[in-house]
Amino acid sequence: MALVDNAPDGHRLIDAPQDKNSITIEPGGIDRRYWQHLWSYRELFIVLARRDISVRYKQTVIGVAWAVIRPLLTMLIFTIVFGRIAQLPSGVAVPYPLMVFVGMLPWTFFSSSVAEAANSVVQNSALVSKVYFPRVIIPFASVVTAFVDFMIGIVLLAILMVFYRVAPGWHIVYLPLFFMLAFALSLGSGLFFAALNVKYRDFRHVIPFLVQLGLYISPVGFSTAAVPSDWRVLYALNPMVAVIDGFRWCLIEGAPAPEASTLAIGVVAALGLVVLGVWKFRSTEREFADQI
């Protein structure tokens, strides 16, 4: 690797002129070949993802056990509040805790991805201000890191389903599609807030509030069946409704499928958020080194 100074965006480029994967910076070249550069910097992406995973629970007393305790405690609290005290219907013929946990899986992935991706560029300010690389790698690595907790959640769910003697139906084959929908929503939102957070640090305080609010207005602790039918379309404007309902349909035998309007809104919102997030991130990316 060699360092090349005076790059067009004021940064230094990590380049390897003698290597077949070397990158030559020329006027306008970064924009034309930006997405090609993502593949060239795949090793950096892997390094960032591994680092985020290794420091995720570093210097904590119980370490990775937090990935198990947090969802179980949340499931317990939601079961008591919504199932026992509020006595909301589960809408499915399975124990209430299991219904809650299935809803928590996509929500936890989404909220963790957005919160960590939004702060990722600022947290890597030293790297951003010194060398050139496609900045989108940073929030993308944060979203992938949240996938680790999601997989731990899948293992916990399998244990709970064995405990309650509940087996998923054939709809489970559609689960990857709803995960892709959750991933698109997470990535689009993460890129958008990451770009805003570089310039407006207020979002560092706003995003946790939005995530907490989203938890209570999404059908995590209760079923969409508890929402009056006249309000369903309006409620579906929250794109996570389609994702959570889809997860329950895939994993719980007899759970109702997401309504067509709900699913359509979720897909359109996911595509729109990805386009909006990429556009906002790319349009402000050159200013990151000066603003950070």
Q: What is the pLDDT of residues 61-113, one digit of tens each?
A: 777 778 788 888 888 998 898 888 888 777 777 888 999 999 999 999 999 99
For the segment 5-35, what is each residue's pLDDT rounded down to a tens digit? 444 444 444 444 455 556 565 656 666 677 7
Contact criterion met (CB below 8 Å) for 116 and 142: yes
Contact criterion met (CB below 8 Å) for 248 and 96: no
3-state secondary structure of 2: strand
β pairing state of 131-132 and 2-4:
unpaired
Measured in whole angstroms, the distance separating CA 93 from the mean position of its chain's CA atoms is 29
Q: What is the pTM of this model?
A: 0.83
Which DSSP helix (H) or strand (E) runs through 52?
helix 42-56
- Neighbouring C-beta atoms of residue 231, cutoff 10 Å: 9
> Among the listed ranges 75-89, 148-162, 231-245, which one has the minimum average pLDDT value?
75-89
147 by Cβ neighbours in 10 Å (0-12 / 13-18 / 19+) ranks as middle
CA–CA distance, 66 with 51 (Å, rounded to integer): 18
* Residue 81: DSSP 8-state: I
Give the distance between the most distant pair of CA atoms in the chain.
68
Contact criterion met (CB below 8 Å) for 71 and 104: yes
